[in-house]
Structure 1
């Protein structure tokens, strides 16, 4: 037995018939917290004033801070603990989705698919 679906129809003054749809309610925009431009500028200024070798993300191993590998991120977080600019870096990286900022790992999207190829190798 077939079930019939009923729809609510409307007619305007001229007799044009259409399907009644619920009104569209505008939503508030939901975006990630924007990067703090003042904190980012302060971080860049402080990086220029630090003696060579005191900031771990500047140097030969800087690729660790932008890596997708969990092992590289672990090494970057451990190195951040010794950095004199960790708090300023953490504030500057607020809202960023990539890279390790101030010892904080990047946020993962729930839609990211884990790649098992590294474990198999």
Structure 2
């Protein structure tokens, strides 16, 4: 009589790791982290680091135009603008452009509406 076949061995498998992003995605820098690294590297050469941040979120049209002019000399202007468009920044001056409700607008309008009839002085 032949001997019975040995029972298949049951080896313990290591517990599976929780689902998450693959390691490859974690090692690739995002556009935002690259931009942050460049801003840190350039320091005071970037206007948003050397001027008061409130300038880039100003309310008056003249101050907004001033902030836009500061961005013209920035070496990271294009990357800043592309990042702001990707993030749909709600407001402020980014990359030399004004964002209002996530959309680039050419200029900030002053508060109120213009008069329909000229005022007689």
Give the TM-score range, shorter chain.
Answer: 0.5 to 0.7
Q: Aligned equivalents of 1:60 and 1:91: distance in 2? A: 21
Larger radius of gyration: 2
Could you say what secondary structure the match of 1:100 adopts?
A: strand
Could you say what secondary structure the match of 2:99 adopts?
A: coil
Q: Aligned equivalents of 1:107 and 1:91: distance in 2? A: 15
1 or 2 for the larger relative contact order (CA 8 Å, sep ≥6)?
1
Q: Aligned equivalents of 2:90 and 2:99: distance in 1? A: 5
Higher helix share: 2
1:47 maps to 39
Deviations 1:31-69 (A, max 9, x none): xxxxxx9322221111110042x1111124321111122
- Structure 1: tracts of 5 or more residues without a match: 1-36, 117-121
Among 95, 111, 120, the residue aligned to 1:115: 111
Higher strand share: 2
Shift of 1:114: 5.7
Q: TM-score, normalised by structure 1?
A: 0.54
Question: Is the aligned partner of 1:85 residue 2:76?
Answer: yes
1:102 maps to 95
Structure 1 stretches of 4+ with a deviation exceeding 3 A read none
- Structure 2: tracts of 5 or more residues without a match: 1-28, 103-108, 113-121
RMSD of Structure 2 on Structure 1 (CA): 2.4
Q: TM-score, normalised by structure 2?
A: 0.54
